[in-house]
Every structure is written in C-alpha cells, then in structure tokens.
C-alpha cells in the first residue's frame, strides 16, 4: 500500500485548494482499492494537451510516505498529451478524508495537526499511461473530444 500511495502521490493530479471545496466530483470508475473521480468543470484543452483535476479516494486508509500521516484521498491536476497517451503531474495534495477535504473534528476534540502540503511539479516529465490504470480513465475523460 505504501508503494501504491507513493506512486499515486507522484502521478496524481493537481490541487486548487479553494476550488477543491466546490469541486463537482463525478465518479468514473473504481476497483477493490480506489474510487476515481474527476471534476469536468476544471477541464482545460489547448491543442493536443488537456488538464483536469481528479481525485483518488481510497477504500482502505494509507499513509503519506513522507510524513506518516493517514491518507484517504489524493487530489491533483495532471496534464495529458492526447496525441501520445502520456501524462504528467502538475500539482498534488493528500487528504485525511475520503472526499478530498481537510478533516473536521468536534469542538470538544483536540484536532490532529495534519501537515499535508500541496506539491507542485510543473516541470515533471510526461509518462506513458498504463491500460486499466486510474490515469487511463482520467485520460479518456480529458481527451475524449480529441
């Protein structure tokens, strides 16, 4: 699970912190480990490139490999090259909740200080998209008009 989260944290899409709260998430698929969602309102297409926010909501809690904090969802922004079926992460953030939001606790509970930070990788290299992966599902949504 650590390897999966580590890989997903690198590969997953970007976060717009303020936009995430208002995101209109639509489920596009799931497997025994993860539900994959996209926010089609964030889709931007320019030439053969498309950017879209997506979220991976884990069915079983994982841990951030850097901080050791519990992770239940990852939200990010990826750029897709629709002509070569490749993608690259531009920004990503992990969340303690399954819905891509920061955890809320009752006023009587001492809140745990989650230290997840948005990771920006605007210069990351494009990677091939594996058939059947979450990235393939998001690619199909982002590049369907191509």
> How confident is the chain (146 residues) per 10-residue block, as mean pLDDT?
42 38 83 95 96 96 83 94 96 87 54 66 94 95 81
* Contact by Cβ (8 Å): 102, 94: no
pLDDT, residue 105, reads: 45
Residue 87 pairs in a beta bridge with 80, 127
DSSP 109: S
Quickly tell me which residue has 């841990």 as its tokens: 63
- Per domain, the residue ranges of the chain are 2-142
Tokens at 6, concatenated: 């580590």
Q: Which fold has domain 2-142?
A: Lipocalin (2.40.128)
Greatest C-alpha distance within the chain: 53
Q: How many Å separate Cα 54 from the centre of its chain?
A: 5
pLDDT, residue 81, reads: 98
d(CA 51, CA 34): 21
């Amino acid at each position: 699970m650590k390897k999966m989260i580590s890989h997903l944290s690198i590969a997953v899409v970007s976060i717009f912190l303020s936009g995430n709260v208002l995101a209109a998430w639509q489920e596009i698929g799931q497997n025994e480990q993860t539900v994959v969602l996209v926010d089609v309102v964030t889709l931007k297409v320019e030439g053969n490139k498309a950017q879209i926010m997506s979220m991976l909501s884990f069915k079983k809690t994982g841990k951030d490999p850097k901080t050791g904090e519990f992770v239940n969802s990852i939200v990010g922004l990826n750029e897709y090259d629709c002509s070569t079926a490749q993608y690259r992460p531009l920004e990503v953030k992990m969340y303690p909740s399954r819905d891509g939001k920061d955890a809320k606790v009752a006023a009587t509970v001492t809140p745990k200080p989650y230290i997840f930070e948005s990771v920006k990788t605007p210069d990351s290299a494009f990677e091939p998209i594996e058939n059947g992966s979450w990235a393939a599902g998001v690619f199909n949504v982002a590049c369907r008009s191509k």
